[in-house]
């Protein structure tokens, strides 16, 4: 009986390949970041720093109704912004959460966000 040797014992092990990740950041310069910060402040002031979903005034965030990542031309459009509190925006049952939506308004925002429907976003702000 002949013993079979594995070739892998004599080869050098290669390091695992790193996956290339596409950056989600569209704004790289300081001027662009300042524009986005001004947009956020303007949207929150327009809604008087009140969450449009639950009415809370704590931890207000400006949310892009139509994603700035997938549709960058709507990034600085004021009609594409809405004020949400931290729970309604980033919570488990909020717009970006995976759980069941807090209310019908969050469900509507999720649908608009997925469909990239700017017409619905403009109607929402009137």
Identify how many contiguous H helices and E strands the chain contains and give both numbers. 4, 2
Neighbours of 109 (CB within 10 A): 26
What is the token pair recorded at 81? 């912004």
The pLDDT of residue 13: 63
Q: Establish if 11 belongs to a structural domain.
A: no
Q: Establish if 91 belongs to a structural domain.
A: yes
| 51 pLDDT tier (thresholds 50, 70, 90) | very high
Q: Establish if 35 belongs to a structural domain.
A: yes
Q: Establish if 80 belongs to a structural domain.
A: yes
Cβ–Cβ under 8 Å, residues 52 and 65: no
Instruction: State mean pLDDT over 44-67.
Output: 94
91 contact partners, CB below 8 Å, separation of at least 6: 97, 102
For residue 20, the 8-state DSSP code is: P
Q: Establish if 9 belongs to a structural domain.
A: no
Domains contained in the chain, number? 1
| pTM passes above 0.85 | no
């Amino acid at each position: 009986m002949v013993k079979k040797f594995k070739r892998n014992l004599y080869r050098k092990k290669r390091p695992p390949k790193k996956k290339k990740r596409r950056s989600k950041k569209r704004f790289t310069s300081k001027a662009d970041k300042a524009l986005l910060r001004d947009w956020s402040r303007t949207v929150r002031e327009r809604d008087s720093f009140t969450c449009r979903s639950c009415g809370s005034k704590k931890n207000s965030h400006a949310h892009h109704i139509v994603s700035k990542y997938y549709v960058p031309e709507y990034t600085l459009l004021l009609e594409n912004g809405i004020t949400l509190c931290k729970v309604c925006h980033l919570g488990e049952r909020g717009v970006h959460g995976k759980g069941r939506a807090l209310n019908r308004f969050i469900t509507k925002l999720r649908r608009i966000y997925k469909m990239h429907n700017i017409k619905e976003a403009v109607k929402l702000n009137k």
